[in-house]
Chain A
């Protein structure tokens, strides 16, 4: 069954951001992540306030994880802004930002559709699974 899932993802197949994909494709993740910041955090980054690693507090459990300040800003601040995923955000950007906001915990097309109400699971699945890998988003068993 796992083999079939790997060959043909379904609406229940879990997807995540495979950070190694960016390195292999010579895409600068720092630039990419900067583009996901809200205006306020982008300014803070420009002023050198988002440097190094900080503690990120998982709001659901209180567990603390060390992560770079840019990612922490997205998780703790930018994701709550209405413009983080707006009515005009393209689907693949919205999926990328949803996974980022979920601390890259894998989500299925079905779960993504529950969060991104503009698209149904089939549409999300088609975009994620057709053609080349987009924004490093791959099935968790596709590594």
Chain B
């Protein structure tokens, strides 16, 4: 078990198995809906974890990129009749472009200042999305056309489940590869000691920009999928609280752990859905989880459990 989880692709095999086998236990389509939402959040968190967990740079504004992807897909397909795949790519270009444009000055900041800057960026994006009523329908939201890929319409929970599951596996695989490469090591070096990283020849600014853009692009991709899946989009998906939820998922699951990001996304997405008794308490629970995790499990769930059961320190 330990070797399976520890090896480069062992965890990936487990993830594929889980995605393949889980539907056997799903009693109704509600479970599929929840699983698809978990998958979408997990995709965002894997990207965000590269930024926060590996490179050590916080972002409190990534829902902004999620929102850009979602609205690019919604507006370009529904209002302008673009093919969904093209709209999705346009969203990625826009998110990546904005991320690239702001990354250099913003990521020169550290700690609280970086938190404030990314937060400001995210809030500006979400304000634009809710104020440009003619374009986005404003706070009431807008409808989104269904997703068609290569002439096939993705409809019904089964096809969405496989699409999101497949994308999640792909993104996980790419993230694992990246982490275990010279680039991934450079990112971790930036986290640990910027000055030592630079002395070793790592252009820290370039790597921070790279990982910021990569995480923004992944969030945008997930946003596009979400827009088509939900069929209706509101600016809430891009707001400050959503950004905070993504960060909490990463921190809860475990920073610098790709599978931790998935577990964190699964817990925080699924629990409120199943604990509907506590519907009013959703925010109370989110707040409690954030505070308690940081106090009692600052490393997050997956790394803490890995250490406990396998003595695995990595």
Q: Do A and B bind each other?
A: no
Q: Which residues of A contact B (CB under 8 A)?
A: none
Q: Which residues of B contact A (CB under 8 A)?
A: none
